[in-house]
Structure 1
Amino acid sequence: MAEAERPERIYLGPHDLLAGRTLLPITVGGHQLLLVQDGERIVAAERACPHEGADLGLGRCVGGRLHCPRHLASFDLCDGSVSPGWSFCALRLFEIESASDGLWLRT
């Protein structure tokens, strides 16, 4: 799809989509993502760890960081940066917009 044809945002579902869960794997536009509830904030992240592809949906979220279940590296949910001691690329994050009609992924 050409850049000009991409929507600015994609509807994900109602406000209670996570229904009390911290992590929710989703597929959007053929991409495997992970919705992460961190307090009142919801962020979308790529689901595969950039290190070796571990499923971050099996990890946990604590104190604004998403922890990989395989290597115990963690990612800052503000900018995707990896914890000290690791030297691989940051986790790709996507903004979630909470609108009157539900949750939207900003593209």
Structure 2
Amino acid sequence: MCAKPISAAEGGRWVHACRIDAFAGRAIVPVFVAGHHLVLVQDDDGIFAAERACPHEGADLALGHCSGGRLFCPRHRAWFALANGAVSAGWYFRDLRTYPTRREGSGIQVLIDVR
């Protein structure tokens, strides 16, 4: 079950994560935002943010790849739905924590829980 992302009204804060040009030539950009190690992933449907470490054994998801709305773990080939962090069938660990994103001018912002 995916945790519902926090909203700005519930104590979230929009924080600058990177410039859009950081995606030049790559689909996954590792960032450190407000104390959180995240990956930003650009896919056909937009830009998504998620925790950087795979919840299974902590593999660095910045070394994975994305395709068809999914982020693939570089260690075990499990994948996570970019839209909500749901883990692929056959894996029995928690879903990937995701964060809302938005484009603001030439930058990407991530909504972080500041409670």
| 2:17–2:32 contact (8 Å) kept in structure 1 | no
CA distance in 2, matches of 1:93, 1:85: 20
Partner SS, residue 42 of structure 1: strand
| Structure 1 gaps, min length 5 | 1-5
Normalising by structure 1, report the TM-score: 0.87
- Number of residues of Structure 1 aligned to a counterpart in Structure 2: 102
The alignment yields a C-alpha RMSD, in angstroms, of 1.5
In structure 1, the partner of 2:23 is 18
Q: Matches of residues 51-90 of structure 1 in structure 2 within 5 Å?
A: 51-90=56-95
Off by >6 Å, runs of 4+ in structure 1: none
Q: Normalization by structure 2: what TM-score?
A: 0.81
One-letter amino acid matched to 1:25: P
2:55 to 28, 50, 57: 50
Give the match for residue 7 of structure 2: none
SS in 2 for 1:16: helix
Distance in structure 2 (CA, Å) of the matches to 1:22 and 1:40? 12
Q: Give the letter aligned to residue 47 of structure 2.
A: I
